[in-house]
Structure 1
Amino acid sequence: MTTMATPQTWSPEVFTDAVGDAVWAPSIHNCQPWRFRHTGDGVDVLLDEHRVLAACDRYGRMARMSCGAAAYNLRLALAMAGLPAQYRFGAGRTLLHLWPDRPRRPAPLESRLYQQIHHRHTNRGPFADTAVDTAASHRLSEAARREGGWLDFVTDDAPLDVVAGLVRAADAQLRADPAYTAELRAWSIAADDRVEGVGPAAAGAAPHPGELLTRRDFGGPVLEMTRDPARRPAVAVLGVLGDGFDDAVRAGMALQRVLLTAADLGLTTALYSQPTEVPALRERLRRTVDRLHDPQLVLRFGYAPRTCYTNRRPIADVIEP
């Protein structure tokens, strides 16, 4: 039997196709702060510093998370091409460098998660009153752990009330900043055919006081709602074992594996970064889940109709020479 030699790099065609999958990661306000470069020995994932949101992401943590999520998609796509990637963290704008591992067939789980890349979407609408079972919660937590993260579900009423209160307080504090509201409006796109930002079809309704967790207001219509329909919401807090520059990238990879796992389970996910954008409230959130390191994101899982996707920029716009 002939053994295959480890390739020196991926072909330009494989690289371009993989980038086409990578960009379907989530990003705050759908700002898409990533770029990709085909190098002599692999692929670099870079931060597009011009797309870091100055008001709500002053230090670029969430932009690095988004790049980490895109990197996880990239890794899955390369594995599906039979050339899985190893990676190491970079420096400066270069967040990760990937290089080919030994060729192999994709694992069944990789294939299943890869199939969800173009189906996963952020839910900005209400969830159905259908509980997420414990087995699904365990699989989601295991998905985070596999990428060096943790996902703690908030199951008791008292801490859930605290987390919900922190999301509301953070959202109110952020909206009191004119720079934040101007930035949010700039990314609330009036037309659905734009390749960035959040258009009307994906925006969901305007936030309502009866919601459990306050969503960002992307200018959606005001709808009548008096309570959250889900009586047993599945709310979790995501983090990693650290809070440094590279840890945000690692958190993004853990996040994307969780999101794809949720989609594979038939679940939709809503993301709430507001309490992690306000330092004092992020610390209170850390104490609520009793973790050593600061949390990166609050997530909610459940069942909901599939809604409109946000668009993505052309592949040529995110490839760096």
Structure 2
Amino acid sequence: MSTSYEATALRVAAVAAVRAPSLHNSQPWRFRLHDGGIEILSDPARQQAIADSTGWAVRIACGAATFNARIALAVAGTPADVRWRPYPAEPQVLARLTPARPRPATYAEQDLYSAIPRRHSNRRPFRPEPVPSDIRHALIEAARTEGAWLDLLVGMTALSGFAEIAQSADRVLRRNPEYQAELAGWTHADAAADGVPATAGAPVVEPQDLLPQRAFTDRRRAPGRDFEPEPLVAVLGVAGDGPTDHLIAGHALQRVLLTVTDAGLACSMISQPIEVPAAREHLRISLRRSGTPQMTLRIGYGDPGRPTPRRDVDDVLVQPGQPSLRGGG
């Protein structure tokens, strides 16, 4: 039985991990090989001061990156066990992967791994056909497998209630000029290696739209290209709301997102009602949940898009002898 990972395994893990989602594609992570294990570190320099003052979004992103790394290692024949926040004296180390018993990858792991490079946020209108019940069940099970819950909102009463909460949160954020300036700083018209290209943004919001959208672009939609009238909205949550809970939520979120992609569906994340504490509490109460919502998703059938750019893998690897980053995440 192997007792340590090597540099080749670190690269395999990091190549997959950098394809995880992050708030405004900020990519707030680094990776290192340490004492025979692979570690996922937060990058405080990429934590957004206004939108993510608590580090919640960094931890969600790094939890998702950890899931990608786990799947990549499993498919490479070197599966991993995960330990969250392993070193109290090093709060920037959010996860540590250590070798588990070698075994062949399962079909499910292979399918999820193949979905990693294809997964991306699709903020454009979806087609109106409903998501089949068997896929809905698979999404719920994907979250449950990783210690989270996923509630699917069914019917216009539930959707209208959620839309009111989400629109209210969006208005709060839009009224904050510092928040808007920070968002603009992560929006690009070129092929930058991070941030959100304007071409990946949703068309400008119109009065008939049910759900809010980020202002990544000023592009207007073509006539007859309204958003779907009854989107499938999912709320993902976990039992608590501490740093480890955020990592578990991000880990489960990525399994859900890859399951969405593997099923031929599209997805966009709606984080406004999570970013505003009062809105998140309103959402929790509306769901009658004792746990804490950590992300909301819009899921459906969309036209093909393309993943947003990522930094080069070598830019996110901590080399031997290089000091690790300090600060929390």
Instruction: Tell me the TM-score normalized by structure 2.
Output: 0.93
Aligned Cα root-mean-square deviation (Å): 1.4
Matches within 5 A, 1:287-298: 287-298=285-296
Q: Distance in 2 between matches of 1:15 and 1:258?
A: 24
Q: Distance in 2 between matches of 1:12 and 1:229?
A: 46
How far apart are residue 40 of structure 1 and its match?
A: 1.8
**Contact 2:125–2:225, Cα closer than 8 Å, also in 1:** no
The match for 1:239 is 237
Matches within 5 A, 1:101-112: 101-112=100-111
Note closer, same or farther for the CA distance 1:279–1:225 as it changes in structure 2 (3 Å cut).
Answer: farther
How far apart are residue 13 of structure 1 and its match?
A: 1.3
2:253 pairs with one of 249, 252, 255: 255
The one-letter code sitting in structure 2 at the alignment partner of 1:116 is A
How far apart are residue 9 of structure 1 and its match?
A: 1.5
Residue 118 of structure 2 is aligned to residue 123 of structure 1: no
**Contact 1:34–1:46, Cα closer than 8 Å, also in 2:** yes
Q: Distance in 1 between matches of 2:284 and 2:3?
A: 43
The match for 1:87 is 82
1:51 pairs with one of 46, 52, 56: 46
The match for 2:316 is 318
Q: Distance in 2 between matches of 1:130 and 1:168?
A: 24
Aligned residue pair count: 315
Q: Distance in 2 between matches of 1:79 and 1:86?
A: 10
Using the aligned pairs only, state the percent identity.
Answer: 43
The match for 1:268 is 266
The match for 1:219 is 217
**Contact 2:6–2:36, Cα closer than 8 Å, also in 1:** no
138-147 or 222-231, which moves further after superposition? 222-231
The runs of 5 or more residues in structure 2 that have no matched partner are: 320-329
How far apart are residue 190 of structure 1 and its match?
A: 1.8
Q: Distance in 2 between matches of 1:271 and 1:225?
A: 25
Q: Distance in 1 between matches of 2:208 and 2:316?
A: 39
The one-letter code sitting in structure 2 at the alignment partner of 1:301 is I
Describe the superposition over 1:203-244 as per-residue Cα deviations: whole angstroms up to 9, x where unpaired.
232233322211111124122568844243211100011111
Describe the superposition over 1:140-166 as per-residue Cα deviations: whole angstroms up to 9, x where unpaired.
000000000000001032221111111
* Secondary structure, counterpart of 1:118 in structure 2: helix
How far apart are residue 26 of structure 1 and its match?
A: 0.5
**Contact 1:22–1:71, Cα closer than 8 Å, also in 2:** yes
The match for 2:55 is 60
Describe the superposition over 1:111-159 as per-residue Cα deviations: whole angstroms up to 9, x where unpaired.
0000000011101100101111111111000000000000000103222
124-133 or 214-223, which moves further after superposition? 214-223
The one-letter code sitting in structure 1 at the alignment partner of 2:275 is E
* Secondary structure, counterpart of 1:230 in structure 2: coil
The one-letter code sitting in structure 2 at the alignment partner of 1:279 is P
The match for 2:163 is 164
Q: Distance in 1 between matches of 2:20 and 2:227?
A: 28
Describe the superposition over 1:237-268 as per-residue Cα deviations: whole angstroms up to 9, x where unpaired.
00011111100000001000000001111111
Instruction: Tell me the TM-score normalized by structure 1.
Output: 0.95
99-108 or 215-224, which moves further after superposition? 215-224
The match for 2:150 is 151
